[in-house]
Amino acid sequence: MGLLFLLVSTDVGRCESGEKNASDPAITRIAFLGDSITEGVGVKERARNRYATVATRLLAGKYPGITEINLGQSGRALCQQEAGYSESVLKQNPDAVVIQWGANDQYWGFSVAEFAARYDALVAALRAAKPRMPIVVMTLIADFRWTENQDAWIGEANIALQEIAARYRCHLADTHRAVGHQKVFYDDLIHPNTAGAEVMAKTIVAALEAPPLSVEKSAVSFDQGTEVRFLQNVFLPKREGTEPQWVHVTDINPKGMNIESQIPIAIRTAPIYPAGNYRIVIRDESGAVVNTIASDVNWSRMNSFTFDPKDHAGPFRVEILPENPANK
């Protein structure tokens, strides 16, 4: 099943969008939105050990007196929230918002399109009301309740969330990558245990310490799917089997991108290039050229090529170069 849209280590708050602003606002009230995972179901002594409380405690070193506002709703979905939900969040007067929604949107049968639209509207409203407020978008952790295809919906949704984070300059906490498919971090088939909650909390803190994402220098990570669409870039991983295989694409910009992948990927870029002849140069971790590919851009303004890591070590740098720079 293809992806419709368009980080175990905890240093996964990505920072491709530039230097952190030294005048970032202080955080005294941090709101956590989500379902039973945010409430702390599955965690021992949840009032102390749920991910939201642990993250708040870790942030207190930088923001003394910070207060957790836990707005978790067990059993509920974002798509079930009534009109005015964003206003009810803003009435709490938060200085930062962390969003965990998604597990029950899948469970109650909502489509990725419905979920992404509601998520986009929520983030848009928060960003419009408080343009400089840090907003943390959390990717969905693995859901083991659906053994027949446990990551299909989540894979699609996580691509959508990463695109929303880039478009609204949010911080990304890639908790899906951080927790992975490690059942040692779960209390049951969906709720993280105390150890899992700690991993999630540290991922959120790392995300807040990194600059927010942006469209100008975007990034996307995914571990399944045969078609990924992200900010008009299309990635077609040539997978074998059904086991998760991570692909990380960072620093996506008109001059190219960085790729961490052990599998080949057919790539079609966003339509941003003037018509003409281009040269795609792929370099490995040492800077050695792995491959050079000719690309002819027509009226579509898109470059098309296949990335193949072969036997080289990554990460890889993909450079998109016009053959006649002076004329471009």
83 domain-assigned: yes
- In terms of average pLDDT, the best of 3-17, 139-153, 274-288 is 274-288
User: How do residues 47-61 score in pLDDT, each as one tens digit?
Assistant: 999 999 999 999 999
Same structural domain, 311 and 262: yes
Nearest C-alpha neighbor of 212 from the set 293, 290, 136: 136
Q: How confident is the model at residue 24 (pLDDT cuts 50, 70, 90)?
A: low
pLDDT at 148: 63
Average the pLDDT over 196-225 and give the result: 94
Average the pLDDT over 279-305 and give the result: 95
Average pLDDT, the chain: 90
Supply the CATH number for residue 202's domain: 3.40.50.1110
Asked if 124 and 168 count as a contact pair (C-beta separation under 8 A), the reply is yes
Same structural domain, 174 and 293: no
> Could you tell me which residues come within 8 angstroms of residue 2 by beta carbon, excluding any fewer than 6 positions away?
225, 226, 227, 228
293 domain-assigned: yes
> Sheet containing 29-34: which strands, arranged edge to edge?
67-72, 29-34, 96-99, 135-138, 171-173
pLDDT at 240: 81
Q: How confident is the model at residue 156 (pLDDT cuts 50, 70, 90)?
A: very high
Q: How confident is the model at residue 45 (pLDDT cuts 50, 70, 90)?
A: very high
Same structural domain, 268 and 179: no
Angle at 116 between CA 40 and CA 206, to 5 degrees: 50
- Where does a domain end: 215, 249, 277? 215
Which of 67-71, 164-168, 241-245, 277-281 shows the lowest mean pLDDT across its residues? 241-245
Q: How many CB atoms lie within 10 A of CB 164?
A: 23
CA gap 12, 110 in Å, rounded: 28
Pick the more confident residue, 212 or 7.
212
- Whole-number percent of the chain with pLDDT over 90: 82
- Whole-number percent of the chain with pLDDT over 70: 91
17 domain-assigned: no
Average the pLDDT over 271-295 and give the result: 95
pLDDT at 224: 82
315 upstream amide cis, omega within 30 of 0: yes
3 domain-assigned: no
Print the domain residue range for 264: 223-327
Same structural domain, 90 and 235: no
Maximum Cα–Cα distance across the chain: 65
Question: Is a pLDDT exceeding 90 seen at residue 152?
Answer: no
Radius of gyration (C-alpha) of the chain in whole angstroms: 20
pLDDT at 244: 81
Same structural domain, 108 and 187: yes
CA gap 232, 272 in Å, rounded: 10
Query: How many structural domains compose the chain?
Result: 2
Same structural domain, 167 and 253: no
60 domain-assigned: yes
Q: Three-state secondary structure along 109-155?
A: CCCHHHHHHHHHHHHHHHHHHCCCCCEEEECCCCCCCCCCCCCHHHH
Pick the more confident residue, 261 or 326.
261
Same structural domain, 33 and 142: yes
Question: Is a pLDDT exceeding 70 seen at residue 1?
Answer: no
CA gap 248, 228 in Å, rounded: 12
- Where does a domain end: 160, 187, 215? 215
pLDDT at 188: 95
CA gap 218, 321 in Å, rounded: 19
173 domain-assigned: yes
Supply the CATH number for residue 268's domain: 2.60.40
pLDDT at 8: 36
Average the pLDDT over 249-263 and give the result: 95
Average the pLDDT over 85-114 and give the result: 97
Q: Which amino acid is at 112?
A: V
